[in-house]
Amino acid sequence: MGVEPLSDGSSELAGLREALSRRVRGEVRFDAGSRGAYSTDGSNYRQVPLGVVVPRDVDAGAEAVAVCAEFGAPVLSRGGGTSLGGQCTNAAVVIDWTKYCNRLVSVDVGRRTCVVEPGIVLDELNRQLSSEHLKFGPKPSTHSHCALGGMIGNNSCGASAQAYGKTVDNVRRMEILTYDGMRCWVGPTSKEEFEEILGAGGRRAELYQDLKDIIDRYMGDIRLRYPDIPRRVSGYNLDSLLPENGFDVARALVGSEGTLVTVLRAELDLVPVPPYEAMVVLGYSDICAAADDVPALLEHCEPELLEAIDGRMAQLMRAEGAYLASLDRFPEGESWLLVQFSGDTKEAVDAQAHDLLSALGRRENDSTVTFSDDPQREQQMLKAREAGLGVTARPPDGRETWEGWEDSAVPPDRLGDYLRDLKRLFAEFGYDHPSLYGHFGQGCVHTRIPFALKTAEGVEQFRTFLFRAADLVASYGGSLSGEHGDGQARGELLSRMFGDAVVAAFGEVKAAFDPDDRMNPGKVVAPHRVDENLRLGPLWRPRTHSTEFGYPEDEHSFTRAVMRCVGIGNCRSHKGGVMCPSYRATGEEEHSTRGRSRLLFEMLEGHADSAVTDGWRSTEVKDALDLCLSCKGCKSDCPVGVDMATYKAEFLSHHYARRLRPAAHYSMGWLPLWARLSRYTPRLVNAALSAPGLARAGKRLAGVAGKRDAPVFAEQSFVQWWAARGLQEPDPADPRTVVLWPDTFSTYFHPAVAKAAVRVMEDAGFQVAVPLDAICCGLTWISTGQLATAKRTLRRTLGVLRPWIEAGTPIVGLEPSCTAVFRSDAPELLPEDQDAKRLATQFRTFSELLLNDAPEGWQPPRLARTATVQTHCHQHAVMKYDADQELMRRAGIEADVLDEGCCGLAGNFGFERGHYEVSMTIGEQGVLPAVRNAASHSMVLADGFSCRTQIDQCDTGRRAMHLAEALALSLDGVLPADHPEKSTERPRAPKRDAWMLTAAVAAIACTATGATYGCLRRMSRR
């Protein structure tokens, strides 16, 4: 008897929400923010979910399904949410397994198996298995963030499937749950076990008998219509139920995309980690010629992977300045095949590579050949291949490219001809120059096509193309999908590949498992049309927004900037890089760069059912952005260059327009002003900031976390020290002149950094100038979204700097976040100001100046020390760290540059009330333990004021210093490791003054508070 489907009535939804909240151990969310964050995946499709459940354990997840069944609510089981076919978006209750249900349950080293929960990420699984020298074989390019449950749902593959097969080939058993509550382990079924299941009766017996009857009826069609190719991912794996394949129910369910069952646990086969690898890269005149050579390669070798990159992708990388180090290692050619071998010895893998070259008539030293048996070098080259989706998604020529026909597969020996026909089809439809790349060793072709998905004509052309392309790949005996599955993108096309009989069998299997069509409905079986539920489409009408930033790389459009996110999901990674620290701390989709992008997209209100309906005033968007650290890690680490720090500043500017802001926006957002005012009585200011009682009250008033210590103002600022030197200002036109930027942090808090920089630059032969006027980059106003004030500040600063700008004088920044403002933010805030553009080209980091502009023959002082180095996030994102590493090398510093992500403080973020715990969680995930574990004789270097402050305040037992300080001490013959206190000198608050000041200030605090707050409120409205 069927279950009545859940209606849209608010009472029924409220009842569902209440029952889930009461009965499910976990987090139940039906709010607009959560629904918006899960409204789409990596595909062209969008459906707003009913709600989201984040179960605490697999049993809680099973209970969530039971509750949904009672209400007739559809269910969508979701892992990393990176699917490109629309499998992970639905008007259903989304169950997100990744936050809590992510355990490696057990490992059997002898049998080379493990049992996992569905939310465990592939890289994390392999990290936990590394001590046993085992791994899960298939490795998609999303390995840093794809979940095993999602890999099972999509039958994921990746480059390593050349050696290890698809996910289906590596699954032994699965614990499953049907919508109507049957829960059991399934796998291969012998005749004896089958009879036992039937004899036991019940739902499982009924299901197994139905499956056998379906296979018996359609056996001939399945054997005839299933292509015998390595990359058939489309359709249900009904061939796994054939007698010769052991009636394997587990493998039949792999790739069913959550439309049949919920997977609760899985037993997986593991493979040994190969101790040695070697790679050959072969250059070709074009991608079709490379494809033509694939059969010959496979005839002579059995590689671990055989990947392809075409010249179009390389062109895009060069245009975007991305992965250039990878491309530099490639040989001559316009397209390339990457062939990797693995083995037990270096000699064995080298021999495989050389044997292949000999068979192909090539040699290692040919200009069209690159050979490597260096693992780091090979990983560098493979990064270019893994970057394919991101690099091709938003090319610099302004075109938008989309999924839809991004992973077709044919027999490898017919690949070259298929590519030629596919190119002709592109030309017929006017889809010029799509990049072609992929897993050529298994005949799988990746591409992104410039479909016009915003007009009715373009959408109709998109639909027509897909049917033509489906017929083309079927004519080659291929598969609609060779990796990403069907979902909505290819569900409607399955009959072109399998024929009506096999598609009818899919429907019968769906009815056997899920008779009421409640499991991820509208995908694979009885699918929505390929042109329905589009994320854009001809009915998409986003609001037009006037903005403060110029968005020059996005056609000056905030909407286009938000659309940069295509759902790749690298922001959900757990190790390496900077992006996205708040997601790493919380595990929440809405705290990832992708989740925030989704909410901003919903805020555009382009659809009638937009989850966010109050635009810039949206509380949901504000809450999602609240934990964004504005670290800018996404600007560099996101494959499509999403810059969430800029989007956050833009949003805050509009959200608080003509409204009272949080106190922290006035206290820390206006920090440069308070720092200048501190010059009148720095000792009393410091005393007030550290006075018992008074400091606590002040933190509450200022919106500062109670557990944070306020940084101490220096008694003499750097600018005061500089003015006291009484030096004549050098001529701006003198090539030896350089301007040292007096940032707020180096001037008022750590002047020793700026003094050290002067010492080193003068030693290098520069004549240093320092502006004495009150100027600022506007960083703190930008990060708090006070963009009108930031613009006024920047214009004033440009006026002060104009003589040096006109002379082309290098201007040096010591604080990375301030340098990043001038290199990135200022030109976007003032897009028509030519001085802002000129200044961006003249602004240098300290290391860039010394490496590129120092007089010939100058060498940095030698330290001969090891150092643990934390790179500031803004430097990582905007200026990069290559110059710093080279300067340290020349100075004899053996640098361990941490790859542990953000320190967690991130300017004002870690000081704001409500952020302390997240700030500390982020720091403790990598940076702080690394500093504690640094050798006692090793220096700790951190150029960022935030990084140094976090290290100083978080019980690391170490004090970090700026690179300029280390070099200056060496000039004086003082080695930092020998004199740690001197090398890390910091101003300290006068404790006696603090106690004396408490009573004196308490009497006037209340009166001053009211007056100051009213003044700030008036200032914010101007």
Q: What is the pLDDT of residues 371-404, one digit of tens each?
A: 998 888 888 788 777 777 778 887 777 788 999 9
Rounded distance between C-alpha atoms, residue 739 and residue 741, angstroms:
6
Residues of the chain with pLDDT under 70: 1-9, 975-986, 988-1022
Provide CB contacts within 8 A for 209, sequence distance 6+: 198
Half-sphere exposure of 67 (CA within 13 A, CB side): 28
Which segments of 140-274 does DSSP mark as H helices, in order? 148-154, 161-164, 191-200, 202-225, 249-253
Q: Residue 579 has which token pair?
A: 């992006």
Q: Residue 754 has which token pair?
A: 């700026």
SS3 300: helix
Classify residue 886 as exposed, middle or buried by CB count within 10 Å of its CB (0-12, 13-18, 19+): middle
What sign for the dihedral angle of Cα 866, 872, 873, 876?
Answer: negative
Half-sphere exposure of 326 (CA within 13 A, CB side): 22
At how many degrees (to 10) do helices 644-655 and 787-807 cross? 130
Strand 276-284 and strand 335-343: pairing? antiparallel
Name 896's bridge partners: 868
- Strands of the sheet containing 893-897, edge to edge, are 893-897, 865-870, 939-942
pLDDT digits 0-9 by tens, 621-631: 999 999 999 99
10 Å Cβ neighbour count for 718?
26
Provide CB contacts within 8 A for 496, sequence distance 6+: 467, 470, 471, 474, 480
SS3 604: coil
One-letter amino acid identity for 198? L
pLDDT at 977: 54
Asked if 97 contacts 168 with a C-beta cutoff of 8 angstroms, the reply is no
pLDDT at 975: 64
Q: Residue 430 has which token pair?
A: 């006017």
Please give the torsion angle defined by the CA atoms of residues 21, 26, 30 and 32, in that order, rounded to the nearest 10 degrees. Answer: 150
pLDDT at 1020: 42
pLDDT at 168: 98
10 Å Cβ neighbour count for 1014?
10
One-letter amino acid identity for 652? L
Count H helices and E strands in the chain, helices first.
Answer: 45, 24
- In the chain, the N- to C-terminal Cα span, in Å, equals 66
Does the N-terminal peptide bond of residue 580 adopt cis geometry, omega within 30 degrees of 0? yes
Q: Among 903, 828, 340, 205, which residue's Cα sits nearest to residue 556?
A: 828
Classify residue 11 as exposed, middle or buried by CB count within 10 Å of its CB (0-12, 13-18, 19+): exposed
pTM of the model: 0.92
Q: Among 375, 366, 386, which residue's Cα sits nearest to residue 341?
A: 375
DSSP state of 712: P
Rounded distance between C-alpha atoms, residue 384 and residue 323, angstroms:
6
Rounded distance between C-alpha atoms, residue 570 and residue 591, angstroms:
13
Q: Residue 203 has which token pair?
A: 């739902």
Rounded distance between C-alpha atoms, residue 869 and residue 948, angstroms:
11
10 Å Cβ neighbour count for 344?
11
pLDDT at 1005: 41
Rg (CA), the chain: 30
Q: Among 440, 340, 326, 344, which residue's Cα sits nearest to residue 391?
A: 326
Rounded distance between C-alpha atoms, residue 785 and residue 790, angstroms:
9
pLDDT at 8: 55
Name 113's bridge partners: 108, 269
Strand 811-813 and strand 767-769: pairing? unpaired
What sign for the dihedral angle of Cα 858, 861, 866, 867?
Answer: negative
pLDDT at 833: 96
pLDDT at 998: 41
One-letter amino acid identity for 265? R
10 Å Cβ neighbour count for 711?
23
Asked if 930 contacts 939 with a C-beta cutoff of 8 angstroms, the reply is no
pLDDT at 976: 62
